[in-house]
């Protein structure tokens, strides 16, 4: 589900690396869920969910700061997308408070949804601001 490919790269190294890390964390979360399904050991799954929660917060804040800096007009709706994802992660965290084999299937479905969301967000929503950030960086790099 969470598999990074070069088609997700924008040519903005910092943001591309953060997106790669989101995919890597998502992949680790997927593996932890698979392990939990086989072993009934849930701590690694909880930790992976916390890592995705923490890192997505960091990445979203970073991205939103850039959108404000470059004056991106779609900032508010972009932030709403991030808020939606954050709410889904909160649901996932609540699901993990009392994990059992039945809740693991629900967690797996949520992970599948999050993987699709991330791909769509990167390829469609994030792509819309890339030119604005590139132009801003080119303009401000040439001044130094």
Positive or negative, the CA dihedral 24, 16, 106, 91 is positive
Contact between residue 123 and residue 7 where contact means Cβ atoms under 8 Å apart: yes
Domains and CATH numbers, the chain: 11-142 (1.20.120.50)
**The pLDDT value given to residue 143:** 59
Residue 123 banded pLDDT, cuts 50, 70, 90: very high
Cβ-based burial of 117 (10 A; exposed 0-12, middle 13-18, buried ≥19): middle
**What pLDDT is attached to residue 130?**
96
Where is average pLDDT lowest: 84-88, 102-106, 114-118, 131-135?
102-106
pLDDT over 60 at 144, yes or no: no
| pLDDT at residue 99, rounded to an integer | 80
- Output the average pLDDT for the chain: 91
**Residue 30 in tokens:** 């997927």
pLDDT digits (tens, 9 = 90+) for 51-102: 999 999 999 999 999 999 999 999 999 999 999 999 999 988 888 888 877 7
User: What 3-state class would DSSP assign to 73?
Assistant: coil
Task: Write down the pLDDT at residue 40.
Answer: 73
Give, in degrees to the nearest 5, the angle at Cα 57 between 51 and 63: 130
For residue 108, pLDDT over 90 is answered with no
> What's the whole-model pTM score?
0.90
């Amino acid at each position: 589900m969470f598999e990074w490919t070069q088609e997700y790269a924008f040519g903005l190294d910092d943001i591309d690396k953060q997106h790669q890390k989101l995919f890597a964390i998502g992949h680790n979360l997927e593996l932890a869920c698979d392990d939990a399904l086989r072993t009934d050991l849930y701590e690694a799954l909880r930790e992976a969910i916390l890592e995705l929660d923490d890192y997505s917060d960091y990445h979203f804040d970073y991205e939103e700061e850039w959108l404000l800096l470059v004056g991106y007009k779609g900032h508010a709706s972009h932030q709403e997308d991030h808020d939606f994802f954050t709410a889904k992660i909160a649901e996932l965290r609540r699901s993990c408070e009392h994990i059992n084999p039945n809740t693991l299937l629900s967690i797996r479905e949520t992970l599948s949804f999050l993987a699709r969301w991330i791909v769509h967000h990167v390829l469609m929503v994030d792509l819309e601001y890339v030119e604005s950030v590139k132009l801003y960086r080119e303009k401000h790099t040439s001044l130094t």
